Chains A and B, each alone.
Chain A
Amino acid sequence: DVKVTQSSRYLVKRTGEKVFLECVQDMDHENMFWYRQDPGLGLRLIYFSYDVKMKEKGDIPEGYSVSREKKERFSLILESASTNQTSMYLCASRGQTNYGYTFGSGTRLTVV
């Protein structure tokens, strides 16, 4: 059973902390994505990566960075967490075709 695994379901962090959200996929997919989901706004793309060490900004990259050192792992980094980054974060991966777009189960992050 193919999987995208996010390391935490729930996280609570303090303002100013550096936060790492981890995502691992076992499908050998080239493309990986980080989204945040907020009520009324839907899913918004933060960053994506189409290959190891490659990254592209999405629609809302400010305050975030990413790392993809290995094909299976895509990390989202909040350099200095702020309360407006409280949200649900979803990781997804996809192969080179339009098939097989798979989501992780999400990380609900609360910044206090």
Chain B
Amino acid sequence: KNEVEQSPQNLTAQEGEFITINCSYSVGISALHWLQQHPGGGIVSLFMLSSGKKKHGRLIATINIQEKHSSLHITASHPRDSAVYICAVAPGNQFYFGTGTSLTVIP
């Protein structure tokens, strides 16, 4: 079962490029999260969205509830943005996760 689909799976960008990662989901949700995982394992939460758009520094997350779609944008990408980005949705108490997008930003 794939309640959450992310694209692309892998992404390589040159430093400074604008990056978009997409997430589509098939279940009704109360919230969607974007997570970041650096090499070594630990996961941090970047955004929690239930509608509209949020911005934090160079990161922007949008969600369209009707279309069941969310995007994570990174402006002026930097090598330190290299990580796996994971979309997660919460229909209830449990979370469903996408398989992640591995981003590499080359200097």
> Residues of A with Cβ closer than 8 Å to B?
9, 31, 33, 40-43, 45, 48, 50, 58, 88, 90, 92, 98-99, 101-106, 108
State which of A41, A43, A58 has its C-beta within 8 Å of the C-beta of B86.
A43
Residues of chain A with a CB closer than 8 A to B41's CB? 9, 88, 90, 105-106, 108
Question: By the criterion CB–CB under 8 Å, are A103 and B43 in contact?
Answer: yes
Return the contact of B30 from the options A33, A45, A98 (Cβ within 8 A).
Answer: A98
- The answer to whether residues A42 and B30 also contact, given A90-B41, A101-B45, A104-B42 and a CB cut-off of 8 A, is no
How many residue pairs, one in A and one in B, have C-beta atoms under 8 Å apart? 50
Contact residues of B with A, CB < 8 Å? 30-31, 33, 35, 40-45, 48, 86, 88, 90, 93-95, 97-100
Q: How far is the CA of A9 from the CA of B44 in the complex (A)?
A: 16
In the complex, chain B residues whose CB is within 8 Å of the CB of A31: 93
CB-based contact A40/B99 at 8 Å: yes
Q: How far is the CA of A30 from the CA of B10 in the complex (A)?
A: 35
Contacting pair A99 B86 (CB below 8 A)? no
User: Judging by beta carbons under 8 Å apart, are B43 and A50 in contact?
Assistant: no
The reply to whether A42 and B44 contact each other, CB–CB distance below 8 Å, is no
